[in-house]
Amino acid sequence: MMSIFVNQNGRTDTVERVDPAWLDPASGARVWVDLAGPTPEELTVLSDVFHFHPLAVEDAVAKVHHPKIESYDGYLYLILHGIDYKKSETAFATHDIDFFLGQTYLVTVHDGQTRSAASVREVCSRNQQVLGEGPAALMHRIIDQMVDNYRPEVEELEQWLDELEDRVFRAPSKDIIREILDVKRDVTGLRRIATPQRDALGRLARREFPMISDELAYRFRDVYDNLVRIADEALIFQDRVTSILEAHLSNVSYRLNEVMKVLTVITVIFMPLTLVAGIYGMNMHLPGVGSAEDPRMFWQLILGMLATAFLMLWFFRRRGWI
């Protein structure tokens, strides 16, 4: 779907097509073309009307690209990513949005699932000043809302990490290792998105491009600071999930050692008992053994074996082995 907004003489209207005259800075018009899940016919506006570079058009048509910013003759090309975290699916759904920023226009291309573009599009149709502030200010508004949408997603991921930490020590299960690896993958995805995106916004905040005014540079600096905090949190999350994994493996190893210790104690206790039973089970005369009809000999042997077992248990406990 292609939505076209044009602001002239302080009034914002929705139109069906782009007039090439609006692209002239002398026209005083400001245009926003939003391509949400565009068809191949709608994508032709990028090359036929705006005459963007073929490489930039090719990147905009591609489904996934890493965040970046490039300067072309008369316009900027920017790729950023929004996230939509779903714990039930244990994955970050990435929605990239491509920006073409010129002096009089802003063109956005996305898959139609970007919440920030949809929200600004709705506000733009009601508020005349949203597009009236200029294309660069409009791009800042979209990016600012995109970065704001990161916060609840990051908080949900942090909550999941807290739950995993509690479960590792309170109620570990066989499936928890899979959850730890899933959250490790998500944290890696968050860092992979946030870090290059931070660098791209840093260039806007430093005013490397003439179409970004000082006022807008300050606004982008605020967005950049928020993204820096998110990138730092992603690094902290990565350390936390590594610690959780190591704690879980240590816990499993400790429990295995406890089981092996109990089995070893049982084995060691029965070794002398088995030896005694084996010796006295031989079909030969042994010293200290009365007649076969003497019933006291059996119980004396059993009591001796029990005494040996308790003596070994006492010795193990005194040494701190059990």
CATH number for position 145: 3.30.460.20
pTM, two decimal places = 0.74
Report angle CA 229, 230, 232 to the nearest 5 degrees: 65
Query: Is residue 296 domain-shared with residue 189, that is, in the same domain?
Result: no
Mean pLDDT of 268-286: 67
Give burial (CB, 10 Å; 0-12/13-18/19+) of 162: exposed
**Domain-terminating residue out of 252, 283, 298:** 252
Residue in this structure with the two tokens 């990513």, named with its chain if needed: 81
Query: Is residue 56 domain-shared with residue 124, that is, in the same domain?
Result: yes
Specify the number of domains making up the chain.
Answer: 2
Query: Is residue 222 domain-shared with residue 310, that is, in the same domain?
Result: no
Tokens describing residue 294 = 């003497």
Q: What CATH number is associated with residue 311?
A: 1.20.58
Over 60: is that where the pLDDT of 298 sits?
yes
Query: Is residue 222 domain-shared with residue 179, that is, in the same domain?
Result: yes
Distance of CA 212 to the CA centre of its chain: 31
Query: Is residue 50 domain-shared with residue 171, that is, in the same domain?
Result: yes
Tokens describing residue 18 = 């782009």
314 versus 58: the higher-pLDDT residue is 58
Cβ proximity of 74 and 56 under 8 Å: no
Provide the β-strand partners of residue 82. 95
Mean pLDDT of 180-191: 83
Give burial (CB, 10 Å; 0-12/13-18/19+) of 160: buried
Query: Is residue 157 domain-shared with residue 133, that is, in the same domain?
Result: yes
Over 60: is that where the pLDDT of 23 sits?
yes
**Domain-terminating residue out of 235, 252, 269:** 252
Over 90: is that where the pLDDT of 290 sits?
no
Query: Is residue 272 domain-shared with residue 247, that is, in the same domain?
Result: no
Q: Give 196-245 pLDDT, tens digit per residue.
A: 888 888 888 888 888 888 888 889 899 999 888 988 888 888 888 888 88
Over 80: is that where the pLDDT of 131 sits?
yes
DSSP 127: -
Query: Is residue 132 domain-shared with residue 201, that is, in the same domain?
Result: yes
Q: Give 92-113 pLDDT, tens digit per residue.
A: 667 888 999 998 899 999 887 7
Query: Is residue 81 domain-shared with residue 203, that is, in the same domain?
Result: yes
**Domain-terminating residue out of 252, 275, 307:** 252
320 versus 195: the higher-pLDDT residue is 195
Q: Assign 88 a pLDDT band (cuts: 50, 70, 90).
A: very low
Query: Is residue 147 domain-shared with residue 279, that is, in the same domain?
Result: no
Name the residue range of residue 53's domain: 2-252
Query: Is residue 69 domain-shared with residue 119, that is, in the same domain?
Result: yes
Query: Is residue 44 domain-shared with residue 102, that is, in the same domain?
Result: yes
pLDDT of residue 306: 82
